[in-house]
Structure 1
C-alpha cells in the first residue's frame, strides 16, 4: 500500500444481491492494484432479498470489506448517512452498489485530491471525457433541467451536482453536518453545502453505466419536492447565513 490518506468507500445497498458481488470484487481489485490503502463500508438497508447473505460471503474473500445492516429508518439517504457515521478513513467516497460508477474514476478522484490537496473531488458525466451508457432519456432530461437550475441559482460552472459519486476529506464531511436529507436528495445536499461553505473542489470527468440487474431505487415523482427543499435550504444558507457555517481554516 502507498503512504497516502486512507480511502473509505461508503456504499448503500438495498436488494442488490445480484449486483453487489461484481461491484465489490471490481472495486477491491482496482484499489489493490493501485496500491491505495482503503476500506469498503456497505450499508445493507434492510434488504428483502439475500443482499446480507452475499455480503457475509464477500467479507470472507475481501479483507477490506465491512458491512452493516441499517434496521431503520430506511431510505437511500439514511443508508448513506449510516455509513458516513462509521467509516474510518481520511477521505470518503459515496458509490452505488450496482457498478454504475467506475472504480477507475474513483482512483482518478483520489489522485486528484491528493495531488491538488482539495477538500472535495466531484465528477461530471457531462463534460469532455465524461460519458453515460444506457442512460434513460426521461431521466437525462430531468437531470439536465435540475442541474441547470442549480447552476443558475448558485452561479456555478459545475454541472453534475445531483450525482452521488463524489469524494470528500474527513474534515469536509464533518463540516457538512448535521445531515438533513433522508432520501436521494442527500446527493444534492452534500456538494451544495461543501460549495456554499467554502470547501475547495476539483471537477474531473467520470462515467456512468446503467445497472445490469434489478431496478433503480430512485422514484422521481417522490423526489422533486425533496430536491427543491434541500436546494432552497442551501440557497438560504448561501445568501443569509452570514458565513456561520463556513469552512474553518487552520
Structure 2
C-alpha cells in the first residue's frame, strides 16, 4: 500500500528541510512505499527553490506543486489532496510538529485493521505535547470539548490535522468546503458522520523551532463553527445521502 504525505507550506524555508529529511529517512527505514507531496502555497521566501534542490539531490520521493491561488491552509491541503497518487494519504505539518514515527504507527494500524482512517490523539493515554503554548492549549481543549458535545462523539482531538485516510475515504469526503484551518475538523467529522471506520492512535506534538504559526485563532472561530454546524446538519438531516456505500459481498465460486 503506497502512502502519500501531503504537506502544505507557506514561507517554510527553514522548517521544511529538517522535516522532509526526517520524514524520508523514517519511511525509507521502515520500507514503506511512499511519496512526499508538498504544496508550496505561493511562498514569498525561498521555499520553492529549496524544494527544487531537495528533490534533485536528496529526496527522490519528493514531489511538489505551487498553488497559484486562492491561497490559505485549507486550499493548500486540498490542492495536494487532488493530486496525490498513493493508496492512502496523511496530512503532515511542515514545521516538524508531527513525528514521522507516529506516521509509521498510523500506517501499520491501517494495514493491520483495514480501517478507513486513522486519527491521532495528543491528549489521551500515551499521547504527549512538547512546548505547547498555554493559551493555545486552553483554547484547543475547549474547542475539542465543544465538538465532542455537539457531535456526540468520544474522539478528543478533532482539531489535530495529523490523520491518515484511505484514498476511497478521501474521495467519499468530497466536496471539500473549508479554505482555511477549519479543514482540520471537516475531514474527520465527515469521516465519522458518513459512516467510515476509524482507529485512534496516540501521537506526539512538538512546537515549531523556526518561523511562526499560520493559525490566527481570532480569525478562525466562526469558520470552525460553520463547519461544525454543517456536519451536525448532515448528521441529522442528510438521510444518509453521503454515507459510505456498502461493498457488495464477493460470491464464492465452487471449486
Instruction: Please indicate the TM-score interval, normalised by the length of the shorter structure.
Output: over 0.9
3-state secondary structure, aligned to 2:37: strand
1:172 aligns with 2:174: no
1:21 and 2:20 are equivalent in the alignment: no
DSSP 3-state at the match of 1:93: strand
How big is the alpha-carbon RMSD for the aligned residues of Structure 1 and Structure 2? 0.4
Residues 59-98 of structure 1: per-residue CA shift (max 9 Å, x gap): 0111100000111100000000000000000000000000
Equivalence for 1:43: 39
Structure 2 counterpart SS, 1:226: helix
TM-score, with length taken from structure 2: 0.96
Alignment pair present for 1:11 and 2:3: no
When normalised by structure 1's length, the TM-score is: 0.98
Residue 218 of structure 1: CA displacement? 0.1
Deviation, 1:156, is: 1.1
Aligned to 1:114: 111
Alpha-carbon distance in structure 1 between the residues aligned to 2:149 and 2:62: 40
- Unmatched segments (≥5 aa) in structure 1: none
* SS of 1:73 mapped into structure 2: coil
Instruction: Give the SS at the match of 1:199.
Output: coil
Aligned 1:209-224 pairs, distance under 5 A: 209-224=206-221
Q: Within 2, Cα distance between the matches of 1:242 and 1:220?
A: 33
5 Å matches for 1:1-250?
5-60=1-56, 61-250=58-247
CA drift at 1:153 = 1.2
**Which of the two has higher C-alpha Rg?**
2
- Cα deviation for residue 154 of structure 1 reads 1.3
C-alpha distance in 2 between matches for 1:14 and 1:225 = 23
Q: Distance in 1 between matches of 2:186 and 2:106?
A: 20
Taking the aligned partners of 1:201 and 1:85, their CA distance within structure 2 comes to: 22
CA shift, 1:231, in A, is 0.3
Aligned mates of 1:139, 1:233 — CA distance in 2: 25
Q: Report how many aligned residue pairs link the two structures.
A: 246
Runs of 4+ more than 3 Å apart: none
Which secondary structure does the structure 2 equivalent of 1:184 belong to?
coil
What CA distance in whole angstroms lies between the structure 2 residues aligned with 1:238 and 1:248?
A: 16
- Structure 2: any 5+ residue segments left out of the alignment? 248-255
Deviations 1:98-123 (A, max 9, x none): 00000000000000001000000000
